[in-house]
Structure 1
Amino acid sequence: MASPRVQVGGEPNGFVHQASVYGSDEEFLAMALPFVEDGLGLGEPVLATTTSANIRLLSDALGARAPLVNYIESIHFGPRPPERVAAFNRYWRQHVSTDSGRHVRILAEPIWTGRSEREVTAWKYMDSSVNAIFSATNVWMICPYDTRAVDPDIVDAARRTHPELVMRDAVVASAAYTDPALFHPDGDSGDLPPPRGRPATLHFDVDQLPAVRDEVSSYAGRHGVPHARAVDFVFAVNEVATNAIEHGAGHGTLRLWTEQDELLCEVTDQVTDTAGWRRLHHFAGYLPGHPIESRGRGLWLARQLCDLVEIRSDNGRTTVRMHLTMRP
């Protein structure tokens, strides 16, 4: 059976992002095997990143053709969404073909078990952001969701983060799909929760950037953050604060506080004239920008150095909140 495909917007050979909900080994293979076999038959590169059990199932079913597939357990892609996005981007760049009729196929099953509520929220955002991040590629990605291991709210979110759903022998458009620029997990407002307690606050402009770095470094030291991680965090905050000066209001506000085992730093800038202001989407910075586009590269560096970066931007106000786990 050929892998099911219907086109929902865009070019037939453009980015395709589908979700597949399954509840048994047989249902997993009914989706994954045709997808992989069709790709191999067309000479397309295929990456299968899923659980070790599913890799064995798929490899056994493929038989002699199994070595033609690239396999990696999802857990080895790292615990943070930017690491997963970077891995997919590297695979696409390594295998992209000048033949516009070919896809780069990725079977991409994330690991949801054992994640905190905050981590689950970050991964839902990533699932949605992929639609914007890879929109200009020829990646065809199917994301499996195992109902034996995944909570129902995560499955519900998948219907909002994937334009198409693989349903047995057909593919249908997801009626619940939400544009990534408008997506918020659980359908909430997307506002960042207020800090717990009273944060340390510093107002800054370009002349106060050294004071920003000193304040973050001192605050991290007082809270026992290992030196190497503190240095990375200072670098990330400096990049974001510099962005606020160069691309935002020219000045900003820094807030620092701790919650449980995390150090949090928030940089906010507010422009008074929104005529030429551009909203910064929450998925900005997942991929490195062009070397001369410092705002995109600064956010990318922050995402690489922090455990989580959250972005909210509206009505001339942009807030970037950075999280760092304080434990070694």
Structure 2
Amino acid sequence: MALEKQVNWGIVGAGRIAEKFCEDMTYVRNGKLAAIAARSADKAQQFADKFHIQYAYAGYQRLFDDPNIDVVYIATTHNFHFEHARAALLAGKSVLCEKPITISTEQCVELQSIAKQQNVFLMEALWTYFLPSIIKAKQWVEEGLIGKIKHIKADFGYRVPYDPVGRMYNPDLAGGCLLDMGIYPLAIAHYFNPVDLTDLTLKAQKAATGVDNDLVILATAGDVTLSLATSFQCRLQNAALIIGEKGYIKIPDFWRAKSCELYKMDTKIDAFIDTEPCIGYCYEAIAVAEQLLQNKTEHPTAPLSTSLILQQQMERIRSMF
């Protein structure tokens, strides 16, 4: 049997999310970890040793300039996403960048322009879109099993202890629950109903640093009513409900979904469980590599147009705080 072609991954940032992504690379046959870049040599080497990565770089540009690397996964703090993605793209590297891909519409447009000029792949790491449970739920909708969608309810929140200099609460690090967690409810609403928001109203609370730490969003998207929420103050239900005229779909922990349930009125008529042992980052890594091996520059499931819409939505919401 012929070996499956692989792409070489470079990891940018050695924090918690990067670790989870690398843990899931065990389940990725069409890609392998080749390099890690961190702010310090010691941190990069420790990360490399943990995940058996050949090259460890202090600083990021050396990784971007490494001719052995095909694609970089950017997992630094939000405020650095644009800078690091831009440098990688200009070095000719394909990019998978953690959410939010940027912190403004202007930055998002510029990254997309550079990716087009360089003719390289660029995608925001909307990993939820690639989870089997989410794909199954979308299939049920497309088959008409819940009828026309009327409501989408989704929330994502965890209590985050207040730390004015930490990533979550520091405005200089692009803190706030909207950018950190709120993008998930917005993204799942767009996935099931790709219509722009109208009649937007919200209730926002702020921490002492000025960043949002609790947010409720009500909006209309076409014929669908959206009820979305995010919070650093408490754990929310973290579920999504896709409600149609005939029934509804319940997705527990939708942002990392391992299951979904289909209801007709009050009766559960079907369910799906993802039994794979992975966290779920592997699915987007596999999907990115598939596109790269076909010389594609975007993924149809998470196109750049979707990232731009989400940026515009978040920018509009932030202007209303």
TM-score, normalising length: structure 2: 0.28
Indicate the structure whose relative CO is greater, using CA pairs within 8 Å and at least 6 residues apart. 2
TM-score, normalising length: structure 1: 0.27
